[in-house]
Structure 1
Amino acid sequence: MSQSDDSARDSPQGDPWLAFGYLVAGVLLYGFVGWLLDRWWGTGFMVVIGILLGAGLALYQTFARFRAPADPH
């Protein structure tokens, strides 16, 4: 096997379900943390901040995971 075959197999294939999973997990996890903070602090806006933060971090993680690899030459 050549080196280009190995690098092609190691690069991400762009599975849309993995990207969807990142987004759903980020929104649910950080939304839940925001909801807990709302309950603890007696506020009503932390769940919204948590959902937005979770979505933003999930998008960042998705772009970081699926970006095109840098050319080694």
Structure 2
Amino acid sequence: MSESSDPGHHKGSSDGMRVLSYLLAGPLCYGGIGWLVDHFWLHSGLLLPIGVVVGMVLSIILIIRRHSVAP
């Protein structure tokens, strides 16, 4: 059977892209929310890094929960 006709051939690649998108989107979204709240209300400069860290932690938790389920 050739690689192009194997239905599971691209599964690893799509899983990798999904994980990468979670790792990028979480810190960007929560960092952006932290920056907006900090910029318009608090003016402390602390919510952007807190948002990035919270976004990364939540992304990792989501990846573990989604990919640890047995098929």
1:27 aligns with 2:24: no
TM-score between both structures, scaled by the size of structure 1: 0.73
Report how many aligned residue pairs link the two structures: 59
Q: How many percent identity over aligned positions?
A: 32
Gaps of 5+ in 1: 1-8
Aligned CA RMSD, in angstroms, stands at: 1.8
TM-score between both structures, scaled by the size of structure 2: 0.74
Moved over 6 A (4+): none
Counterpart of 2:49, as a letter, is V
- Deviations 1:36-61 (Å, cap 9, x if unpaired)? 11102111010000000000000000
Counterpart for residue 67 of structure 1: 68
Gaps of 5+ in 2: 1-7
